[in-house]
Amino acid sequence: MADRVSKPSDSLARRAFAGAIPHNLDLGIEPLEAQDGHALAKLAYDARLVGDPETGVIHGGVVTTLIDTVCGLAVMTALDTPQPIVTLDLRIDYLKPAKPKEDLLARAHAYKVTRQVVFVRAAAYQSDEERPIANAVGTFMLLGKRAGKARK
């Protein structure tokens, strides 16, 4: 690892994330962007994940998983020193029903990093980012021994 790089680069963070997490691999969550506290991830439509067999709409729990994942990715890229993180809480508002047979995307921004807590906002959408299906806010705890370095 290049020790000049204090923050994981876009491709590094994305590769680490995509390859290391069994559940994300199994769902096929694809990180598209991850840099400086901003992240975007995609989950392709998958019949295994349907929550309403009459309409074919994906289960709300899958939206939760995609949002939790993209928030975690945004947090990782916001840190000066790579360290373990855990979700402390996550609130999701469902704004409108998802459409069947369409991919899900979620974008997150880790907008405030403190010594021990990182605050994140996220939104999930399908074809139109201006019309999100869900909005979310979350907080993540930093577990590193050196947790304590707040960014400006």
Contact region with another protein (CB under 8 A), list: 5-13, 83-91, 116-124, 144-152: 83-91
**Alpha-carbon gap, residue 85 to 42, rounded angstroms:** 21
We find the least distance from the C-beta atom of residue 33 to another protein, in angstroms, to be 19
Q: Which stretch binds another protein (CB under 8 A): 4-12, 23-31, 73-81, 144-152?
A: 23-31
Task: Rule CB under 8 A: say whether 100 interacts with another protein.
Answer: no
Instruction: Give the Cβ contact number of residue 135 at 10 Å.
Output: 16
Distance of alpha carbon 22 from alpha carbon 134, whole angstroms: 25
CA 126 vs CA 70, 99, 135, 148: distances in Å: 15, 8, 13, 37
Q: Give the residue with the Cβ less far from another protein, 32 or 151.
A: 32
Site for another protein (CB under 8 A): which residue of 12, 42, 60, 112? 60
